Structure 1
Amino acid sequence: MTACRSPVLSVVVPCYREQPNVAPMVAALDAALAGIDWEVIFVDDDSPDGTADAARALARTDTRVRCLRRVGRRGLSSAVIEGALSSSAPFVAVIDGDLQHDETILPAMLDAVRAGADIAVGSRHVGGGDAAGLASPLRQRLSAAGIGLARKLAGVAISDPMSGFFLLRQSLFEDLAHRLNGQGFKILLDLLLSAPAPLKVAELPYRFRPRAAGESKLDILVMVQFAGQFVDRALGGMVPLRFIAFALVGLFGIFVNLAAMQASRAAGLGFGPAQTLGTIVAMVANFELNNRLTYRTMKLRGVRYWQGLVLFMLVCGLGAIANIGIAGALYHRGDANGLAASAAGSAIGVVWNYAVSATLVWRV
């Protein structure tokens, strides 16, 4: 049994499907943090591969290991928030669970914050850093696009605002916690944008390793969520990010509807059948996109997917009826012209679809 003293540093590891990397992560931290009192907090989003079981098995013989298993909620940013707020150590570090970050620079990151930096960031893009672990050309392009977007739109004066590897005082995290939106995958950028005054950032170079086991979570939909963070900030958090995504998916559905209808007409169908087919195709497309993007962290699979699809189509059908009814009432009463009445009906239809979908469809 490893002796337990109050930790100086809590290392938060948000994870999903990282069972093969749990034991190697603890061994790597043990070697890197020799002489420092530390603990590791695995925050597992109910992984089906036994990630939480692996962490708990280690915790039985090593009191420096803790596990928070989250059921019914997912997302890297919110996992980091829960892990960091569960710590009583004066310093908190965040590191990915895939072993691609270089844990050996954690002592230097701790020294940088102790010396006066607000936050120390492991960077792939300062002198001595290396992003070779982004082996896929797609991942390289996605990462570069995200960094460019962060620099241009947020004015973040660091080389690697997309980094998921950083360290700061726990008290600073506590101060910023209520300002965080807790969505998406880029918690560092959220922290920087949430600070009422610019944070003093120390960047330390590291080599981004190739993934040893498991699968990467970085894809185009992650980047879409990342871009959504900027929209959320621009609106001052007044409109839920999920509603924005849901409305944008609905807008895309209009184009799908029109394209499917035109293709059906070209194939010889009459207007009514073509319009019906286009509407059905748009509903299915909207459901799939919402399941993959808007409700990514609550993604429906298997039987629940098909139950959700049927419910979604029923909800949207009722929303369409409400849309037509409200628009017609406003128009015939003379409260609005045709375009304004249609817009009002559409807006109410979107709100209806979002509210009922969030309550029923992605809760099945």
Structure 2
Amino acid sequence: MANLLVTGGAGFIGANFVHYWGENSPDDRIIVLDALTYAGNAANLDGLDDVELVVGDICDTTLVSRLLSEHHIDTIVHFAAESHVDRSITGPDAFVTTNVIGTHSLLKAAKNVWLDTGTGRPHRFHHVSTDEVYGSLGTNDPAFSETTPYAPNSPYSASKAGSDHLVRAYHHTFGLQTTTSNCSNNYGPFQFPEKLIPLFTLNALNGRHLPIYGDGMNVRDWLHVEDHCRGIELILKQGRVGETYNIGGGQELPNLRVIEEICHGVDAAFAQNTDLIRRFPNAPAAQGRSSSDLKTYVEDRKGHDRRYAIDETKIRTELGYVPARDFKQGFAETLAWYLAQESWWTPLLNRAA
């Protein structure tokens, strides 16, 4: 039996991980620490009666230390982060505070409880990071591996790179038992509607523009969030301490292709379920038109990375990781979830604006 502290566990990826871990390791105890900022949502944990939610800030080192001690925590899974690139361009301070200072706060608390005053029991600090720390790839460049030099291009990715380095330093300097994963673009249930897939899906349902940056040919590797959770599980249970593992979905697609899949999926859903016409009368699909009519091209984002791609050879060969879904299947499941969860996302639309 393990005792886990999951930071950011009421957010998108964190909440999916809590659901996943609870289903697959029901004897373990989970404490969620989340500040419930705009993208955190306690409702994401509904139905998880055995999970305790503590509303608090990872920058509060005293609080974190107390939670580690009182709940006999042996595993930290650290998701808590500011993660939206656009917001990091207009307000970078919050990203440095949460992603760098907050991660350092957790590391200090872990060192204090597990090493300085602890019993020496086995422990794990798993840090969840992003492929964006590696910068941008050209069309023919090899995919990011764990040895790719860091070259962050936005305040968001720079702050995540800083946190990655701190985790590595606490392992090599103090002996803290750490692992890090760098993942590609996630999608799936509970994703706050500011990211491409939920934003464009809900805009299509509500007859709002689909704003496409630049020429729409920026390429990302798409990873269903449950496959990400499976990858983290493998790292926690089988991964080598002190190592970094890249987790990808094996689905390298340009944004335009993703948007086309969204439009096609929404249109097909209306054709198959006429009740959607009543529920979403402003959707082009409710009026006999294509969701593609909502596409509009806007000025490209500052410092917009052209291409990301993940080389997942290490986690595949060492730990046996293989993503279970291709993008077509994963998006179909995601669309079905959003269509069934209107009461969940409706209150969030104005917060995402």
Whether these two folds match at TM > 0.5 is: no
Q: Which has the larger radius of gyration?
A: 1
Structure with a larger share of its residues in strand: 2
After TM superposition, the score normalised by the length of structure 2 is: 0.28
Structure with a larger share of its residues in helix: 1
**Relative contact order, CA 8 A, sep 6+: which one is greater?**
2
After TM superposition, the score normalised by the length of structure 1 is: 0.27
